Amino acid sequence: MRVLGIETSCDETGIAIYDGDKGLLGHLVHSQTDVHAVYGGVVPELASRDHVRKVLPLIIGVLEQTNLSKSDIDGVAYTCGPGLIGALLVGAAIGRTLAWALGVPALGVHHMEGHLLAPMLEEDGPEFPFVALLVSGGHTQLMEVKGVGSYRLLGESLDDAAGEAFDKTAKLLGLPYPGGPELAALAEEGDSTRFRFPRPMTDRPGLDFSFSGLKTFALNTIQQQVSSSSDNRQIKADIARAFEDAVVDTLVIKCCRAVKATGAKTLVLAGGVSANRRLRQRIQEVMQKEGARAYYPRLEFCTDNGAMIAYAGWQRLRTGASEPLKFSATPRWSMEDLPSVG
């Protein structure tokens, strides 16, 4: 079965074709960075309009890339939540309509399930069961995963998501949007011994997170240390490094706890923040010590993309799941509400 995947939940338009026998056949991603950079963050209406402009050319592009025609598509999967409602509706409307025109089944996919299953796009991907740390711009969640659709939430952020904390702190440091990767790059030049940020909620039991205090800690440090007279690059790099170390340490500590609590032998790291080099490295080292194996997607499948949606869609479409002509998009949606497969 060949599935066309469409991702339009936020500021990337992603299109891919996944083949149940041959794996991922092709994919394209268009990032809206240029559209939103001048505003310092995502402008929902501009995101929707840009998706409208890009979805069809990208579908044609992926068909060309894979030497396939529309009639080779056996099913269509589109992100139907969580995300920006206008942006979601673009992918949902085009995906559902295309499936109707082609006479094939269509399915709305949970964006975070896409992220969660993305490491399985790799040849040597993880096998169920596992614990997953989902770290994106909107979510920080630890999930116990027994199979596709069998998800138990172990803990989550009570306030800002890890990616959101990266983005907000980057803004405080005067870095351009999108802040997370910019802050990580600046942190590479930082001295890890100069400042020490707290590791929130690690001094008490439990698997929840809280990252909004780190942003305030960063603000206070900036106000004390950064002067208006010089360029302050080194101080900012040191602050970026201290912030990154605090987030990474906190995530790693909670992952260890989750692995111990569940007895899991596999940890999956996914979502935009899983592109962070230091996080990938630390998780790898620490899981090895715990006797568990860590998996994460290749870099291009950490942030939003169509491949993860095509794959998650295939996992469900192949069991006969599909949606009626009346489709919907869901801006807020818990993964625990998804039906289990198999």
Q: Which residues bind ligand KG4 (CB under 6 A)?
A: 10, 115, 136-138, 163-164, 166-167, 178-181, 184, 271-273, 275-276, 303-304
132 contact, one of ligand KG4, Zn ion, none, CB 5-8 Å limit per kind? none
5 contact, one of Zn ion, ligand KG4, none, CB 5-8 Å limit per kind? none
Q: Quick one: how far is CA 245 from the chain centroid? A: 20
Nearer to ligand KG4, 148 or 251 (CB): 251
Q: How far is the CB of 10 from ligand KG4 (least distance, A)?
A: 6
Q: How far is the CB of 79 from Zn ion (least distance, A)?
A: 9
96 contact, one of ligand KG4, Zn ion, none, CB 5-8 Å limit per kind? none
Q: How far is the CB of 279 from ligand KG4 (least distance, A)?
A: 7
Q: How far is the CB of 128 from Zn ion (least distance, A)?
A: 22
Nearer to ligand KG4, 20 or 44 (CB): 44
Nearer to ligand KG4, 7 or 323 (CB): 7
Q: How far is the CB of 5 from Zn ion (least distance, A)?
A: 13
Question: d(Cα 290, Cα 288) in Å, to the nearest integer?
Answer: 5
Q: How far is the CB of 228 from Zn ion (least distance, A)?
A: 36
276 contact, one of ligand KG4, Zn ion, none, CB 5-8 Å limit per kind? ligand KG4
Nearer to ligand KG4, 1 or 219 (CB): 219
The torsion of the CA quartet 265, 268, 274, 277, rounded to 10 degrees, works out to 30
As a three-state string, the secondary structure of the chain is: CEEEEEECCCCEEEEEEEECCCEEEEEEEEECHHHHHCCCCCCHHHHHHHHHHHHHHHHHHHHHHCCCCHHHCCEEEEEEECCCHHHHHHHHHHHHHHHHHHCCCEEEEEHHHHHHHHHHHCCCCCCCCEEEEEECCCCEEEEEEEECCEEEEEEEECCCCHHHHHHHHHHHCCCCCCHHHHHHHHHCCCCCCCCCCCCCCCCCCCCCECCHHHHHHHHHHHHHHCCCCCCCHHHHHHHHHHHHHHHHHHHHHHHHHHHHHHCCCEEEEECHHHHCHHHHHHHHHHHHHHCCEEECCCHHHCCCCHHHHHHHHHHHHCCCCCCCCCCCCCCCCCHHHCCCCC
184 contact, one of ligand KG4, Zn ion, none, CB 5-8 Å limit per kind? ligand KG4
182 contact, one of Zn ion, ligand KG4, none, CB 5-8 Å limit per kind? none
Structure token pair of residue 181? 């990767």
Q: How far is the CB of 337 from ligand KG4 (least distance, A)?
A: 18
Read off the amino acid at residue 280: R
119 contact, one of Zn ion, ligand KG4, none, CB 5-8 Å limit per kind? none
User: Cβ distance 47 to 11 under 8 Å?
Assistant: yes
User: Cβ distance 168 to 183 under 8 Å?
Assistant: no
Nearer to ligand KG4, 303 or 315 (CB): 303
Count of residues making up the chain: 342
Q: How far is the CB of 88 from ligand KG4 (least distance, A)?
A: 12
Q: How far is the CB of 299 from ligand KG4 (least distance, A)?
A: 9
Residues forming the site for Zn ion (CB under 5 A)? 136, 304
Nearer to ligand KG4, 26 or 137 (CB): 137
Question: d(Cα 71, Cα 171) in Å, to the nearest integer?
Answer: 46
Nearer to ligand KG4, 2 or 111 (CB): 111
239 contact, one of Zn ion, ligand KG4, none, CB 5-8 Å limit per kind? none
245 contact, one of Zn ion, ligand KG4, none, CB 5-8 Å limit per kind? none
Nearer to Zn ion, 85 or 286 (CB): 85
Nearer to Zn ion, 149 or 180 (CB): 180
